[in-house]
Homo-oligomer: A and B are copies of this chain.
Amino acid sequence: MPAIVTFGELMMRLSPPGVERLEQAREFGISFGGVEANVAVALARWGWQARHVTRFPDSPLGLQAVQYLRSHGVDCSQVLLGGERMGLYFIETGAMSRAARVVYDRAGSAFATLEPGRIPWDAALAGADWFHWSGVTAGISAAAAACCMEGIQAARRLGLRVSCDIHYRSNLFRYGAAPAEVLRPMAAESTLLLASAEHAEQLFGLAPEPGADAFASCAQQLMRQYPGLRYVAETQRESQSASHHRLSARMAHAGGLLETGAHTLLPIVDRIGSGDAFAAGLLYALGADAPPQAALEFALAAAALKHSIPGDALLATVLEVQTLADGDGSGKLIR
């Protein structure tokens, strides 16, 4: 099985019971989530060696975070302890026409204030095949972006392949840098890139060729521009309501554009982490030498299945994902 190192912030996730609004909560359920760590958790559960690199405060909350990762078999030997506080996020589940809402509380976190140069990247990346990061990390703070760039460069130097979930959101990059300037050189090192046509336009300054499919066109331009880039993939989501989506996926590679049919998702349990499940599924299936179309179907099934599971993590087996990818979404009772 391949080995991966992921880098990014794992936050404590606090959520009201059921579909209560944050405002009316009298208690919060506790779990953990973060774009990159979610990938590590999924892959570690499926048999990959997975190591997560991050920093937690030296407090009971930081200890819980380590316990969470270790419980799923993620190697925490390179987790730093220090800094002032645990990154948190609060989430209320949506329902019907009421949107889910996330309130981030990560400013000044142990991760956001991590100083460049602190992570011993050669040790941190030892033995790995892949390095995975996301645009969220680059958007948290200048320091986090600098650390991430260190990791990407070390990974390339050491011969690892790099995967990137660009995951650009306008509520990040509040530290003053231009997202495109930060992300472009980082993403340039990727073998696998999760990004949409909008990302390509906003961050890479590309324009779809007239008449061409925007995603396909941008993806091909990216692959021409960055010769190491072999896969560009995205999911597409149609939202009838917060409870009812349709999800499909596309991937560009040397062989052209691959597309999937759509999964109907109703009623949605928890959509957080579905993009990370997609990334993990794609890495897993490609790493198992699945043909690209099969890999894309597996990744989409992973993303679809995630919507049925509370929390950020894709707590599902390869068999469960493959069953859905093979077209059996009937959810028949298993005894």
Contacts and interface: CB of A to CB of B under 8 A. Distances in A.
Interface in A196-217: none
A280 interface: no
Copies in the complex: 6
Interface string A304-326: 11011111000110001000100
Nearest to A242: B331
Contact of A335 (B60, B171, B242): B171
A24 B315 contact: yes
Give the interface size class of chain A.
Answer: 35 or more
A244 interface: yes
A243 B331 contact: yes
Contacts of A335: 101-102, 104, 169, 171
A152 to B, nearest CB: 25
B63 A85 contact: no
A109 to B, nearest CB: 10
Given A27-B28, A241-B329, A60 B269 contact: no
A64 B28 CA distance: 13
Contact of A96 (B30, B107, B239, B268): B268
A61 interface: yes
Interface in A21-49: 21-30
A99 interface: yes
Contact of A30 (B25, B267, B334): B25
